[in-house]
């Protein structure tokens, strides 16, 4: 049976001979569309027909893409004035959140990616970037020249932080208020389409970060149109969305259509859903299940693969389980536990939520069981947290050593390069890229960027600006950082956060970049480093500070047997050399060769890892690993002719 391809029907839709305007506005007694000329003057006003259920709609002949418009809402109280507002489904806000909307024809773009089909979860190497700070231009087009070098690095997908229209010219994107309109200062909808099309030409998938748990505090018009929000649910950012109360059907449609809008009209390959545990819904079908199901159906109709990945602190397998098993049907989720455990092991930080993690033992558990908190008691939260996900394939979990939250939500935005030594940063890279999970890099991480990534905004309301300043200081009190918070509103805070690619040619940074390239090449070359492929055995000594992970055979949750040489990953988090035993299932007797060491000379090290180690029949063997170093071993009798890395 042929599947029907979805298309957007709300908002302004170009049709034969004109534009159909459609809006859900149950808080208005009548609605008209007001058109503007190129100088911003009113060019005409046309009433929309009431279609029941608060929907108003009409086709206005002679209007075309490029026309600016707003909706004029008449109140039920005849004595009150009407108000003119942008379209809540606006596809473009060329003059910002307070300006009129603009008609866009998504079919007019000359796509060149007809043969592109997307990427599987297990093949993802994600690269998170913020458009405004990724290039000097700070635009979608400004990012395009760097796509090839990302692909050559070994990245397979860029993950773009939220681009829905936000107030001003600079923002992380989580203050978006027009969820269908790509940020005007980044280049608007055509700029985003050019970026996606260019990425696909380079063989890169594009993930987009979407925010369905709140809207920003400035410029939102949703509450003027209908009951989008409810007092029943509260989030860290204010009232929650009305997902399950009276008049919630159109609210749900707003989010389902939004996800399909990015997939269909912008050809994105995946959506990363922000803070999904802050989306509350007691419907028979949770909103997130409805969205993920709709995305997968649309992807199938389009002949493409589109992935849904959740950010959640709940450590709950519901996000990953199929709907028929009571789950939401997501393809993957972020695993913060891996990051927190690694941060504690490297830096010793134990304040805030880091107090829950023990460094090396926590990393070992994350490698074995995906989550550190899978039903055990969290002292920081003062309750049990999470549930076991041992039955879920490892390629469903996204791990990282840095991301926008873990860097930018420090008061001074320090990257790991500012908090750890050169050797520790290389160890972190190996722990990430030799892990059995899907890796995510944060922009600049691959060459050891040292510029901070700070929190920045550009709001127009002085009271709101001061509220943001105070809020940031209060947020960091638990970490003791309240007195060192840079001004979020200051332009310099934004400018300091831009990447400095000149560092790539400097000592230390060159070696870091070489290490990332080699690690990513190994992931492509060694079958058992593909997430979800191998059975994983882990041994560790928390007191001595080492971990050994052995990859062999086939993961019991894998869909097909894995064919590849067994591997042993050795991680030393101690500040001095360690003799690390290799007695693990899958580490067979024989000579094992080191095929990569972070202490190798090509990575700025001293070459302290032996080129090979003999594993005896009783499994007894040990390898001496320098302080803060990692090494990867493989049976020496297997073909290593393509080996480019060395001890």
Give the model confidence (pLDDT) of 235-256 as tens digits: 888 899 999 999 999 999 999 9
Q: Which residues of 558-593 are buried (b: 16+ CB within 10 A; e: fewer)?
A: beeebebbbbbbbbbbbeebbebbbebebbeeeebb
From 418, 426, 435, select the one nearest 608 (Cα to Cα).
426
Most confident listed range (321-330, 469-478, 614-623): 321-330
Mean local confidence (pLDDT), 254-269:
98
- For the chain, the average pLDDT equals 94
pLDDT score for 647: 53
From 75, 72, 67, 65, select the one nearest 86 (Cα to Cα).
72
pLDDT in tens, 61-99: 999 999 999 999 999 998 889 999 999 999 999 999 999
Percent of the residues in the chain that have a pLDDT greater than 70, as a whole number = 96
pLDDT in tens, 388-442: 999 999 999 999 999 999 999 888 999 999 999 999 999 999 999 999 999 999 9
Q: How many CB atoms lie within 10 A of CB 449?
A: 25
Two tokens at 182? 């790509």
Mean local confidence (pLDDT), 335-342:
97
Mean local confidence (pLDDT), 437-459:
97
pLDDT score for 253: 98
Q: Which CATH architecture has domain 124-510?
A: Alpha-Beta Barrel (3.20)
pLDDT in tens, 502-558: 999 999 999 999 999 999 999 999 999 999 999 999 999 999 999 999 999 887 776
Mean pLDDT check: name the lowest of 126-130, 203-207, 333-337, 611-615. 611-615
Question: Is 90 exceeded by the pLDDT of residue 45?
Answer: yes
> Which residues in the chain are classed under CATH 2.60.40.1180?
533-635
Q: Which residue has the higher pLDDT, 587 or 594?
A: 594
> Which residues in the chain are classed under CATH 2.60.40.10?
11-108
Mean local confidence (pLDDT), 5-18:
96
pLDDT score for 483: 65
pLDDT score for 469: 87
Inter-CA distances, 23 with 12, 131, 288, 298, 611, Å:
9, 30, 23, 23, 68
pLDDT in tens, 557-576: 766 666 789 999 999 999 99
Question: Is 50 exceeded by the pLDDT of residue 1?
Answer: no
The helix (run of H) or strand (run of E) holding residue 246 is: none
Q: Return the DSSP state at 580.
A: E
584 band by pLDDT with thresholds 50, 70 and 90: confident
Question: Is 80 exceeded by the pLDDT of residue 158?
Answer: yes
CATH code for the domain defined by 11-108: 2.60.40.10
pLDDT score for 442: 98
> Which residues in the chain are classed under CATH 3.20.20.80?
124-510
Two tokens at 554? 């086939």
Question: Is 50 exceeded by the pLDDT of residue 495?
Answer: yes
Mean pLDDT check: name the lowest of 202-206, 222-226, 404-408, 477-481. 477-481
pLDDT score for 467: 87
The question of whether 244 is a catalytic residue gets the answer no
Two tokens at 531? 């997430």
Contact 98, 219 (CB under 8 A): yes
Catalytic residue (one of 311, 405, 445, 555): 311
CATH code for the domain defined by 533-635: 2.60.40.1180
Q: How far apart (Å, rounded) are the C-alpha atoms in residues 16 and 61?
A: 9
pLDDT score for 566: 94
The question of whether 274 is a catalytic residue gets the answer yes
pLDDT score for 586: 79
Q: Apex CA 420: angle with CA 419 and CA 422, to 5°?
A: 135
Instruction: Name the H helices within 144-247.
Output: 147-153, 188-201, 222-225
pLDDT score for 564: 86
pLDDT score for 471: 81
From 638, 587, 637, 645, select the one nearest 623 (Cα to Cα).
587
DSSP-assigned letters across all residues of 91-134: S--TT-TTS-EE---GGGS----TT-----GGG--EEEE-HHHH
pLDDT in tens, 588-646: 889 999 999 999 999 999 999 999 999 876 656 889 999 999 999 999 976 444 444 55
Q: How far apart (Å, rounded) are the C-alpha atoms in residues 191 and 213?
A: 26
pLDDT score for 616: 79
Q: How many CB atoms lie within 10 A of CB 322?
A: 11
Question: Is 60 exceeded by the pLDDT of residue 580?
Answer: yes
Catalytic residue (one of 87, 244, 274, 526): 274
Q: Which residue has the higher pLDDT, 467 or 365?
A: 365
């Amino acid at each position: 049976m042929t599947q029907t391809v979805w298309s957007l029907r709300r908002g302004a839709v170009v049709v034969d001979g004109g534009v159909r305007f459609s809006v859900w506005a149950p808080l208005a007694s009548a609605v008209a569309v007001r058109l503007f000329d190129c100088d911003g003057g009113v060019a005409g006003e046309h009433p929309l027909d009431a279609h029941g259920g608060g929907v108003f709609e009409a086709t206005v002949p002679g209007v075309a893409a490029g026309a600016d418009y707003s909706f004029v809402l008449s109140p039920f109280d005849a004595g009150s004035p009407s108000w003119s507002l942008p379209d809540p489904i606006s596809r473009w806000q060329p003059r910002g959140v307070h300006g009129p909307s603009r008609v866009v024809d998504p079919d007019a773009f000359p796509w060149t990616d007809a043969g592109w089909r997307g990427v599987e979860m297990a093949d993802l190497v994600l690269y998170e970037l913020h458009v405004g700070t990724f290039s000097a231009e700070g635009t979608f087009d400004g990012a395009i020249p760097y796509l090839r070098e990302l692909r050559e690095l070994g990245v397979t997908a860029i993950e773009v932080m939220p681009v829905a229209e936000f107030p001003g010219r600079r923002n992380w994107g989580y203050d978006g208020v027009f969820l269908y309109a790509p940020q005007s200062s980044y280049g608007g909808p055509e700029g985003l389409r050019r970026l996606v099309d260019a990425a696909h030409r380079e063989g890169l998938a594009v993930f987009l970060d979407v925010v369905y748990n709140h809207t920003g505090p400035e410029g939102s018009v949703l509450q003027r149109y209908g009951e989008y929000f409810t007092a029943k649910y509260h989030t860290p950012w204010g009232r929650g969305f009305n997902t399950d109360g009276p008049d919630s059907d159109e609210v749900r449609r707003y989010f389902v259509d939004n996800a399909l809008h990015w997939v269909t009209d912008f050809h994105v390959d995946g959506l990363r859903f922000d803070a999904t545990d802050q989306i509350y819904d007691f419907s028979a079908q949770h909103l997130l299940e409805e969205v993920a199901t709709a995305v997968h159906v649309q992807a199938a109709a389009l002949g493409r693969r589109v992935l849904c990945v959740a950010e959640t602190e709940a450590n709950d397998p519901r996000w990953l389980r199929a709907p028929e098993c009571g789950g939401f049907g997501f393809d993957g989720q972020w695993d913060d536990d891996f990051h927190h455990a690694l941060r504690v092991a490297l830096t010793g930080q134990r304040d805030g939520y880091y107090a829950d993690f023990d460094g090396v033992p926590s990393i070992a558990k994350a490698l074995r069981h995906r989550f550190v908190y899978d039903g055990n008691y969290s002292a920081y939260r003062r309750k049990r947290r999470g549930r076991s996900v041992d039955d879920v394939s490892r390629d469903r979990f996204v791990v990282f050593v840095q991301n926008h939250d873990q860097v930018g939500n420090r008061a001074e935005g320090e990257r790991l390069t500012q908090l750890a030594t050169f050797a520790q940063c290389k160890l972190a890279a190996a722990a990430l890229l030799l892990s059995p999970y899907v890796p995510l890099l944060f922009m600049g991480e691959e060459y050891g960027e040292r510029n901070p990534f700070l929190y920045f905004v550009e709001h127009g309301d002085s009271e709101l600006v001061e509220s943001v300043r105070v809020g940031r200081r209060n947020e960091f009190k638990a970490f003791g950082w309240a007195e060192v918070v840079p001004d979020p509103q200051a332009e310099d805070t934004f400018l300091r956060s831009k990447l400095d690619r000149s560092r790539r040619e400097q000592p230390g940074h060159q070696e870091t970049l070489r290490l990332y390239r080699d690690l990513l090449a190994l992931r492509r070359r060694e079958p058992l480093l593909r997430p979800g492929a191998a059975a994983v055995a882990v041994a560790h000594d928390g007191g001595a500070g080492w971990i050994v992970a052995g990859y062999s055979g086939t993961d019991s949750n894998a869909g097909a047997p894995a064919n590849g040489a067994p591997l042993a990953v050795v991680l030393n988090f101690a500040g001095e050399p360690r003799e690390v035993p290799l007695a693990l299932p899958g580490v067979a007797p024989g000579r094992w060769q080191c095929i990569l060491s972070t202490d190798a000379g090509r990575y700025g090290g001293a070459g302290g890892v032996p080129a090979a180690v003999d594993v005896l029949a009783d499994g007894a063997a040990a390898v001496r690993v320098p302080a803060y170093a990692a090494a990867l071993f493989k049976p020496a009798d297997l073909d290593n002719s393509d080996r480019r890395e060395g001890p």
